[in-house]
Each structure stands twice: as C-alpha cells, then as structure tokens.
Amino acid sequence: MYLFIFSLLLILFQYMNSKSILETYEKKITKLEQREKAYEDSIASIADVNLELMRFDIDYNDDAMSYFIDDGYDIELLIPFIKDELYKLNIYEGDDHPIVPYASMTGKKILINSIKLMNHKWIVADFSDGKYWGEILLHYELNDGKELKFKLLDYLLYRPN
C-alpha cells in the first residue's frame, strides 16, 4: 500500500514538473516566434527602403550603364573617373567654386562632399563650407575626346540650424 501511494505521489510530482517545464518551453517558443515575426517585418521594411535607395543610382540602372557600355566605356573605371573629376573641382583659387553658385559665408572654402550619379546624364551632389550646406543638380557628358563637362542645372542652399 505504501509503495502504491509513494509511486502515485512520484508520478504526480513528475507530471506536474513536466507540465511546468512544457509550459515554460511553450512560452519561450511563442516569444521567439513573435520576435522572429518582428525581425522578418523589419527585414522586409529595410529591403523596401533599400529598393527605394537603389532607384536613382547608376549602379542599379541597367539602361544608363548600357549607354556607356555601348559607347565603349569601362563602367568600373568610368564612374570613379567622373566622381574624381568633380572632386578635383574642390581645388580652386579664390572665393568662388567652379560649380557651386554660392560664395562661402564663413571664410572657409565651399567643398563638394558627396556625389551620387543618378544615371548617364545627371549627378546630385552636396556641398558645404562647414556651416552652410546645400545641394546641386548637374548634367554631365563625355564628348568624343573623352573630355568630361559639367553643367549646373539647379541648386539650393539650406538654412543653418
């Protein structure tokens, strides 16, 4: 009789312990599934943002790249060449930048900071003198002598904070 009661208590203890462990694991699994769903949503959101960022970028514009390839240019060399030529305009004498239509208001030189080639014709760049900054829209073209020419299409200057 004592053995039966002891066995029953042991089985009851094991059942309750197993049930508790099982419920704990189920809660953890549910929590991990919710976290995984949140991460999947975050990844999908980031992928959408990334897709939007790629929209106006020559690196992801097959038509613009084909334009240069059809003219016999090597894209791997051409894109850095275009950016370097625009950055070279940061080396200038005097107060007036060759492309940026604003004069510095701080006494420092205005410099082009970053460049984004949108396609085979347009560039967006930002500039700053350390306090004031703005953006420019440029048209660029390579003529037959492989000479690069920039033409300012539009520009803006932001108000300082």
What distances in angstroms separate CA 15 from CA 1, 5, 6, 20, 103, one per listed residue?
21, 15, 14, 9, 82
| Residue 34 confidence (pLDDT) | 96
Q: What is the pLDDT of residues 122-145, one digit of tens each?
A: 999 999 998 999 999 999 998 876
| Residue 106 confidence (pLDDT) | 87
Q: For residues 134 and 100, what is the distance between their CA atoms, to the nearest angstrom?
A: 9
| Residue 145 confidence (pLDDT) | 66
pTM value is 0.71
Residue 97, classified by CB atoms within 10 Å of its CB into exposed (0-12), middle (13-18) or buried (19+), is buried
Average pLDDT, the chain: 92
In the chain, pLDDT over 90 holds for what percent of residues? 63
Q: How confident is the model over 143-149, as a mean pLDDT? A: 82
